[in-house]
Amino acid sequence: QASNGSPPVSVGGISIDATSVPLNPQDPAATTLGEFRYAGGLVLTSAQTARLHELSDIVMTGQDRFAAVGDEGIYLEARLVLDTAGQLVGVTDASISPLVDQNGKPLVAPDADAEGLTLLPTGDRLVSFETRHRIWLYPRDGGRPQAVPSPAIPLESNAGMEALTVQPEVGDDAYLVGIEESGETWSCRVRSACVKGLTVDKPPEFGLVALHHLPDGMTAYLLRAYDPVRMNRITLKILRGTTLVARMDLAPPLMVDNFEGMTSVLRPDGSRRFYLISDDNNRATQRTLLFAFDWHPR
């Protein structure tokens, strides 16, 4: 899912401070979660901007580059830094720009709540929004966005189209939309209406917050739950159709926050590197985490 596209409005580069953290603070040497191996995690901050917050989805734009969107209508681009062992140790070459509206103006609330991000094979970007529910296509050449089809169903203000990914096997303009509260998925195309797909099997307290297309007929689903007693709980499920292929669970005492975004990249050894990013809700009690996990498909 690579693209040479750039944000339509640039506000310049920023420096991101990345502090490494263990998967399990009580056992810093622990790196294994079932079939997944922790490949490094970072707390991301920046003294150069107040907008590096509330990141809701992430997508790879190259082997070591990613883009992310956030609730304040921001678009972040950056490069991942790996050490000689391939562990995630930093983020560099970063820039933040505003997502713009159909008049070319930076988005402001309540229109700015970007939740899902994916890149079509054409290089065009798709962004799904909550509060004012819609999906916009941002052209690869940096032109103004246009509305594209989204599920024609009623949605809760803060529990809408959180999840978004491509469906290249359907077509270059095809995408899959996931509804947070219900776990429903809808198959859409830029040039035709959405059709209901499978509903993710999940406990009712979990919401579907990210989707990610994988080869060989597989899809990754990121589920999130929170309550004040058990705190954040995250499940990553890889399915082929309705068949479970692999699963990873994150919950205390492991290091965990409000993970909402997920992407992956194939590594030279044949493993797949998943990157998860968290929405800190712009609260001092939460953090922007970027975690890496490696998985070897069977």
pLDDT at 2: 33
Q: Which residues contact 9 (CB under 8 A, 6 or more apart)?
A: 97, 98, 100, 104, 106
Place of tokens 């307290």: 205
Tokens at 170, concatenated: 């359907």
- Is the model's pLDDT at 260 over the cut of 50? yes
Q: Are 99 and 112 in contact (CB under 8 A)?
A: yes
Q: Is the dihedral of CA 298, 90, 120, 128 positive or negative?
A: positive
Q: What is the pLDDT of residue 142?
A: 87
Residues of the chain with pLDDT > 70: what percent? 96
User: CA 171 to CA 189: how far, in whole Å?
Assistant: 8
Span 66-80, pLDDT tens digits: 999 999 999 999 999
Structure tokens at 272: 């797949």
Count CB neighbours of 49 within 10 A.
17
pLDDT (average), residues 87-113 = 96
Per-residue b or e along 278-292, where b marks 16 or more CB atoms closer than 10 Å to that residue's CB: bbbeeeeebbbbbbb
Task: Quote the pLDDT of residue 116.
Answer: 98
Contact status, residue 89 vs residue 74, Cβ threshold 8 Å: no
In sequence order, the 6+-apart residues with CB closer than 8 A to the CB of 82 are 40, 64, 88, 89
- 76's tokens: 């972040």
Dihedral sign for Cα atoms in the order 143, 147, 150, 153 = positive
DSSP state of 237: E
The answer to whether 238 touches 244, Cβ cutoff 8 Å, is: yes
User: Is a pLDDT exceeding 70 seen at residue 3?
Assistant: no
Question: Is the bond into 110 cis (omega within 30 degrees of 0)?
Answer: yes
pLDDT tens digits for 28-43?
999 999 999 999 999 9
pLDDT digits (tens, 9 = 90+) for 213-247: 999 999 999 999 999 999 999 999 999 999 999 99
Place of tokens 């809760």: 156
Q: How far lies 177's CA from each of 162, 245, 294, in Å?
A: 8, 21, 25
The pairing of beta strand 88-98 with beta strand 13-14: antiparallel
Residue 21: closest CA among 289, 297, 293, 294: 289
At 8, is the pLDDT very low, low, confident or very high (cuts 50, 70, 90)?
very low
